[in-house]
């Protein structure tokens, strides 16, 4: 990922985070699930279902090991591959 792409990703993440903070209180608890659904669909459309399943499997492994990706810093899942 180029420096410009990382900067754009970080900007998008900040905009989304701010938007979640601005949601009505009764909707905030659903933001994570809503974002996950949107993300899963977007990733599957972008890279195909097979590759999306690999990406989400790596993410699941990361989370199972207690290595949560940061909400504010752009990372690639591949950075956690062994």
Task: State which residues form the domain around 61.
Answer: 3-80
Compute the average pLDDT of residues 48-52: 94
Q: Between residues 10 and 78, which one has the greater pLDDT?
A: 10
Give the C-alpha separation, 49 to 73, whole Å: 26
pTM of this prediction exceeds 0.85: no
Res 2: pLDDT: 80
User: Which contacts (CB < 8 Å, 24+ apart) does range 47-53 have?
Assistant: none
Compute the average pLDDT of residues 26-49: 92
Three-state DSSP class for residue 79 = helix
Number of domains in the chain: 1
Res 79: pLDDT: 54
């Amino acid at each position: 990922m180029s420096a410009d792409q990382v900067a754009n990703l970080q900007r998008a993440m900040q905009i989304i985070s701010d938007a979640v903070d601005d949601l009505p209180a009764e909707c905030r608890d659903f933001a994570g699930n809503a974002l996950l659904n949107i993300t899963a669909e977007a990733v599957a459309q972008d890279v195909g279902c097979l590759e999306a399943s690999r990406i989400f499997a790596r993410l699941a492994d990361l989370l199972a090991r207690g290595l949560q990706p940061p909400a504010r810093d752009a990372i690639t899942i591949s950075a956690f591959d062994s």
